[in-house]
């Protein structure tokens, strides 16, 4: 059964894959109809088409994958300040002016945020916040 919902890009540090998995599991449990996309293996994290060649993480591919989404959930943790891939994804997100929800994934927050994230609203993880964001897409 194919998912017919909107596409949501999930940005996260490679060390935070478990949080991405929790997010997708929680969304499925709640019955959302979104296709979650990320660049961890260049494939959809939900049901849907697999449209990128594995292993191609070029800036252009990253931008195209992000631009093709309706919104972005960014999982922010103590790993984020050193996650070059995630910071590059977020740069693309902000340049493309996509709707984005920045979410602290745990109590272990970064001591200092990268300049890219300073003065931006970051919320605590709650299904209510995530659900409200998704409903607006």
Residue 4 pLDDT: 58
Sheet holding 35-37, edge to edge: 35-37, 7-11, 71-76, 100-104, 122-124
pLDDT (tens digit per residue) in 53-103? 334 558 888 899 999 999 999 999 999 999 999 999 999 999 999 999 999
Q: Give the domain ranges of the chain.
A: 7-136
- Check the CA dihedral 75-61-14-26 and report its sign: positive
What fold, for 7-136? Rossmann fold (3.40.50)
Containing 100, the helix (H) or strand (E) segment is strand 100-104
Average pLDDT of the chain to the nearest whole number: 84
**127, two tokens:** 């299904």
Can you tell me the distance from the alpha carbon of 132 to that of 67, in angstroms, rounded to the nearest whole number?
21
Alpha helices (runs of H) in 1-137, residue ranges in sequence order: 17-29, 59-67, 84-96, 127-136
Give the distance from CA 67 to its chain's centroid. Answer: 12
3-state secondary structure string, 20-33? HHHHHHHHHHCCCC
Which conformational region is residue 132 in: left (phi greater than 0), alpha (psi within -120 to 50 degrees), or beta? alpha
**91, two tokens:** 């740069």
Give yes or no for residue 120 having a pLDDT over 50.
Answer: yes
> CB 31: neighbour CB atoms within 10 A?
6
Greater confidence (51 vs 105) lies with 105
**80, two tokens:** 């984020």
């Amino acid at each position: 059964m194919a998912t017919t919902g909107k596409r949501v890009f999930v940005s996260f540090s490679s060390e935070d894959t478990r949080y991405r998995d929790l997010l997708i599991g929680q969304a499925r449990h709640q019955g959302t109809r979104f296709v979650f996309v990320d660049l961890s293996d260049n494939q959809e994290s939900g049901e849907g088409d697999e449209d990128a060649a594995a292993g191609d993480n070029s800036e252009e591919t990253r931008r195209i994958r992000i631009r093709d989404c309706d919104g972005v959930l960014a999982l922010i943790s103590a790993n984020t300040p050193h996650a070059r891939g995630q910071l590059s994804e977020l740069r693309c997100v902000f340049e493309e002016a996509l709707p984005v929800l920045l979410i602290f994934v745990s109590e272990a927050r970064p001591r200092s945020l990268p300049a890219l994230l300073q003065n931006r609203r970051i919320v605590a993880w709650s299904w209510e916040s995530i659900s409200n964001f998704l409903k607006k897409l």
